[in-house]
Amino acid sequence: MKKVLVFAAILACAAFGLWPRISLERANNNVAIISDYREVATLAKNSGLDVDEAISILIRNGISGIMVSELTGDNVLHGVGQAEMKVMKDSERGIEGTIISITPYSEHKDLLNKWLRLRFAVSEDKTGPVFLSMPSNMLRNSGMIPDIDGLEAAKRAGLHIFYRPAPSPGHLADRAALLLREVHAKYPVSVFTPSGEYVSGYPDVSKLAEVSKELGIPVAVVEFSRQVGEPQLNAQVSPLLLPLHSVTNEEMTSRRISRSALRDRLLRAALERSVRLLLLRTAPANTSSFRFQDFAEEVRLLAEGLKSHGFNLAWPEPVFAKKTLSANIFTAWAMSAVLMLCVWSYLVRMGMKNSAKAAMLFAAGSLVLAVCVLKIAVIARLAGALTAPMIAVEASLLAMDDAKKRGLISGFAFAVAGGLALASFFSVAGYMLRLSTFSGVRLTLVMPPVLVLLHDLKMRIHPESLVEFLNRPPVWGELILMMLLLAGVAIMIIRSGNVSSTPAFEENMRLTLEKYLIARPRTKEVFVGYPCLLLLCYLVQNGMLVRYRELLRVGVAAGFSSIVNSFCHFHTPLTLILLREFNGLWAGLIVGAVLVIMVKFVVVPMLRLIRPIVS
C-alpha cells in the first residue's frame, strides 16, 4: 500500500511537469513543405514551363517555402546565376588569381556588385570585376553571390525563403554573416542554415549566431547532419531553431530510396520527431523520365498526408523561442524517487532486508538526489542514464513474478509510469531539440538483460547458481543459448542508432504498420518482449524447458527496455509515444498468442514423437 501511495505521488509530480510539454506539442502543429529553387527551375524548363508558373502550381499543391542558396565558385563556373569567373595568370610575376564579375545583362547588376564587394571585403567603390589573389580551385566551394533569381522568384510568389549561406575563405570568415544581413533586408528570409562541409567561419561561428539572434532569423537544424560546426551554431542560437528533414540525391541514389518511401520518411519525420520543415527534393538529374508534373503530384500527396494526420500547412515558428520548459523540484523528485524505488526493490529481490530503516533511507535519498539532479548537470545525466534501465529491470521482474495473474499489466503500467516520470524531468528545450544527448539509451538495451540474468542466478530461478554454472563444463545447448544472447545484444546496440541499419523488408513492414496504426509499435516489443513473456508463462505452467527459460526471460527484459526507451525520445510527441505503447501491447499479445498456439499444438507434439532421440 505504501508503494502505491509513493507511486501515486510520483505520477502526480510527473503529470505536473509534463502538462506544459503536452500544451506546447499541441500548439506546434504547423508544417512547411520546401522545394529547392534551382531544382524546380531546371525541372520547369525541361517541362516547358515558366518558373513563376511552376512555383504557382507547387503553391497550390502545398509548398510554403523555397530554398535559395548562395552560389559557390563551382556553380558560377558551370554557368549558374548571374556571375562569371575567369582565371588570371601572370607567369612573369608568378601571380595566379581569379576575376569575378557580374554578367552585363543582369537586371540587378548594381545590387549584385555591391554584394560581391561585401562578400570579398573589396572596399573601392566600383562596379567592375573583382580581382582575388587566389586560384580558382580554392574558390570552388566558397560562396560568391546569393542566387538572386531564386530570391526574386520567392518574393514574387510570396513564399518564405530558406536561405543557405556558403562557406567563406579563411580570411573572410565574417563575410557570410554580413551578406546574410543584407539579403534579409531586401528579401523575406524566414530561416537559414549554412551549406557546405563546414559552417562559414568555423571554429568561430559567433558572427552568424549574432545575426540570427539580432534579426530573429531561426536556424534550420538539419536532421542527421554531419556538418562541421553545426552543433556549435545551434547551441549559440538556441532556442531560435526549427528542425528540418531532407534526403540528399546522393542518399536517394546509393540507398535506392523510392519516391513513395521518400514521402513516407518526410511524413514520419513530422509525425514522430516533431520536424516542422520538410525539404522535398526532385529526382536526381539523370532520371530522365521524371517530369515537373510528377514532382507537383508528389507535393500534393505529401501535403494530403500531413493534413490527414492533423497538421496545418503553414509556416512554423520556433516553439521554445516564446515558451520555455524547465525542470523543477517536482520533476526532479519524480525521476529520483523512481530510481531509488527501483534500486531498493532490486536489492530486496536480491536478499536485502526490507525494514523501516531502509524505507527512511529511500525517502531521504530521493529528496537529496532530487536537489542534486536539479543543481548539478553531471549528476542529472548520470541519474537519467541509470533510471531508464532500472525501470526496465523492475517492470520485467514484475511481469515475470506474477505471470499467471496480472504480471503483464503490472509490468506494463510500471514501465509506462516510470517512463513518464523520466520524461517529465528531461522535457526541456535542449533534449527536445536534440541539442543534448540522453546518455541512457544504449545502457537501457544492455543493463536490464544483465541484471535480470544476475537476479535469476542469485535467486535460483535458473536451476543453477552462478558459482555452480561456472564450476561445471558447459553443454552444447547452453553454448548455443549464450551465443544467441550475445548476438541479440549486439543487434540491439547496432540498431539503436539511425534507421539505416534496418533491412529493407523490415523498413517496408514499418511503413505498412505506420500507414494503418499511425503510431508504429516497436519491433522488440511486438516480436520479442510480449511473445517471450506469454511463451514463458506457458512453459512455467507446464513445467517445460526449465534450463532454457532464461533466454525467454532475457527477451522479456529486452521488450520492456524498448518500452522505456520510447519515453527517452524526448523529441517525439508524448501522445504518440503512449499510442505506440498501446499498439505494441495488443499487437504483441496477438503475436505471442499465435506463438504459444504453435508451440502447444505443433512443436510440443513433434517433440514428443522424437523424445527418444533427443532425451
Q: Which amino acid is at 111?
A: L
Q: Higher confidence at residue 256 or residue 160?
A: 160
Q: Higher confidence at residue 359 or residue 2?
A: 359
Write down the pLDDT at residue 211. 95
Nearest 10 degrees: Cα torsion 578, 581, 583, 586 = -130
Long-range contacts of the stretch 463-472 (C-beta < 8 A, 24+): 463/546, 463/547
Q: Which three cell numbers stand for residue 380?
A: 542529472
Instruction: State whether 295 and 329 are in the same domain.
Output: no
Kindly tell me the sign of the dihedral angle through the C-alpha atoms of 353, 357, 359, 365.
negative
DSSP string covering 376-428: -HHHHHHHHHHHHHHHHHHHHHHHHHTTTTTHHHHHHHHHHHHHHHHHHHH-S
Residue 122 belongs to a domain: no
With bands split at pLDDT 50, 70 and 90, how would you rate the model's confidence at 407?
A: confident
Instruction: State whether 293 and 376 are in the same domain.
Output: no
With bands split at pLDDT 50, 70 and 90, how would you rate the model's confidence at 61?
A: very high
The answer to whether the beta carbons of residues 218 and 212 sit under 8 Å apart is: yes
Write down the pLDDT at residue 615. 39
Q: What is the 3-state secondary structure (H, E, C) of 252-306?
A: HHHCCCCHHHHHHHHHHHHHHHCCCEEECCCCCCCCCCCCHHHHHHHHHHHHHHH
Instruction: State whether 287 and 422 are in the same domain.
Output: no
Is the per-residue pLDDT at 51 higher than 60? yes
Instruction: State whether 50 and 153 are in the same domain.
Output: yes
Write down the pLDDT at residue 4. 74
Write down the pLDDT at residue 500. 47
Is the per-residue pLDDT at 343 higher than 80? yes
Is the per-residue pLDDT at 169 higher than 80? no
H/E element holding 149?
helix 148-157
Write down the pLDDT at residue 246. 93
Write down the pLDDT at residue 361. 79
Q: Higher confidence at residue 353 or residue 489?
A: 353
Q: Of 315, 340, 360, which residue is a domain's last?
A: 315
What number is the average pLDDT over the span 164-182?
Answer: 86
What distance in Å separates the CA atoms of residue 432 and residue 24, rounded to the nearest whole number?
11
Residue 117 belongs to a domain: no
- Specify the CATH number for the domain of residue 299: 3.20.20.370
With bands split at pLDDT 50, 70 and 90, how would you rate the model's confidence at 562?
A: very high
Nearest 10 degrees: Cα torsion 341, 344, 349, 354 = -110
What number is the average pLDDT over the span 555-580?
Answer: 93
Write down the pLDDT at residue 458. 84
Is the per-residue pLDDT at 259 higher than 50? yes
With bands split at pLDDT 50, 70 and 90, how would you rate the model's confidence at 63?
A: very high
What's the distance, CA 50 to chain centroid?
A: 38
Residue 132 belongs to a domain: no
Write down the pLDDT at residue 496. 52
Strand partners, 241: 219
Instruction: State whether 171 and 272 are in the same domain.
Output: yes
Instruction: State whether 435 and 474 are in the same domain.
Output: yes
Q: Which three cell numbers stand for residue 266?
A: 518526410
Least-confidence region, from 389-393, 402-406, 517-521, 582-586 = 402-406
Q: Higher confidence at residue 323 or residue 181?
A: 181
DSSP string covering 74-103: HHHHTT-SSEEEEEEEETTTTEEEEEEEE-
What number is the average pLDDT over the span 290-299?
Answer: 92
CB atoms within 10 A of CB 445: 25
Residue 97 belongs to a domain: no
Nearest 10 degrees: Cα torsion 39, 44, 45, 51 = -90
Is the per-residue pLDDT at 396 higher than 60? yes
Write down the pLDDT at residue 285. 60
Is the per-residue pLDDT at 19 higher than 60? yes
Query: What does DSSP assign to residue 198?
Result: B
Domain that residue 437 falls in: 2-21+323-614
* pLDDT tens digit sequence for 105-129: 888 998 999 999 888 888 766 677 8
Instruction: State whether 569 and 525 are in the same domain.
Output: yes
Q: Which three cell numbers stand for residue 240?
A: 531560435
Rg (CA), the chain: 29
Residue 58 belongs to a domain: yes
Write down the pLDDT at residue 499. 45
What's the distance, CA 56 to chain centroid?
A: 32
Q: Higher confidence at residue 549 or residue 245?
A: 245
The answer to whether the beta carbons of residues 519 and 580 sit under 8 Å apart is: yes
Q: Which amino acid is at 541?
A: Q
* pLDDT tens digit sequence for 408-424: 999 999 999 999 999 99
Can you count the helices (H) and strands (E) in the chain? Answer: 28, 12
Separation in Å, CA 296 to CA 31, 53, 280, 305, 433: 18, 12, 11, 14, 31
Instruction: State whether 381 and 490 are in the same domain.
Output: yes
What distance in Å separates the CA atoms of residue 190 and residue 40, rounded to the nearest whole number?
19
Write down the pLDDT at residue 467. 64
Q: Which three cell numbers stand for residue 48?
A: 516547358
Q: Higher confidence at residue 77 or residue 473?
A: 77
Give the pTM: 0.86
Is the per-residue pLDDT at 538 higher than 80? yes
CA angle, 24 then 27 then 28, to 5°: 85
Write down the pLDDT at residue 290. 81
What distance in Å separates the CA atoms of residue 65 and residue 192, rounded to the nearest whole number?
12
Write down the pLDDT at residue 90. 59
Separation in Å, CA 271 to CA 221, 226, 277, 565: 17, 23, 12, 18
Kindly tell me the sign of the dihedral angle through the C-alpha atoms of 309, 310, 313, 314.
negative
H/E element holding 161?
strand 160-164
Long-range contacts of the stretch 207-212 (C-beta < 8 A, 24+): 207/173, 207/174, 207/176, 207/177, 207/178, 208/165, 208/176, 208/177, 208/180, 208/233, 209/233, 209/236, 209/237, 210/177, 211/177, 211/180, 211/181, 211/184, 212/237, 212/240
Instruction: State whether 535 and 607 are in the same domain.
Output: yes
Instruction: State whether 336 and 311 are in the same domain.
Output: no
CB atoms within 10 A of CB 598: 12
Instruction: State whether 303 and 376 are in the same domain.
Output: no
Q: Of 264, 291, 315, which residue is a domain's last?
A: 315
Is the per-residue pLDDT at 334 higher than 90? yes
Q: For the chain, what is the mean pLDDT?
A: 86
**Domain count across the chain:** 2
What number is the average pLDDT over the span 31-60?
Answer: 94
Instruction: State whether 468 and 609 are in the same domain.
Output: yes
Q: Of 280, 315, 350, which residue is a domain's last?
A: 315
Q: Which three cell numbers stand for residue 489?
A: 545484444
What distance in Å separates the CA atoms of residue 459 and residue 550, rounded to the nearest whole number?
13
Residue 231 belongs to a domain: yes
Write down the pLDDT at residue 338. 94
CA angle, 545 then 533 then 503, to 5°: 105
Write down the pLDDT at residue 613. 43
What distance in Å separates the CA atoms of residue 520 and residue 582, rounded to the nearest whole number?
10
With bands split at pLDDT 50, 70 and 90, how would you rate the model's confidence at 404?
A: low
Residue 599 belongs to a domain: yes
Write down the pLDDT at residue 126. 67
Residue 206 belongs to a domain: yes
Q: Which amino acid is at 463?
A: P
Is the per-residue pLDDT at 498 higher than 50? no
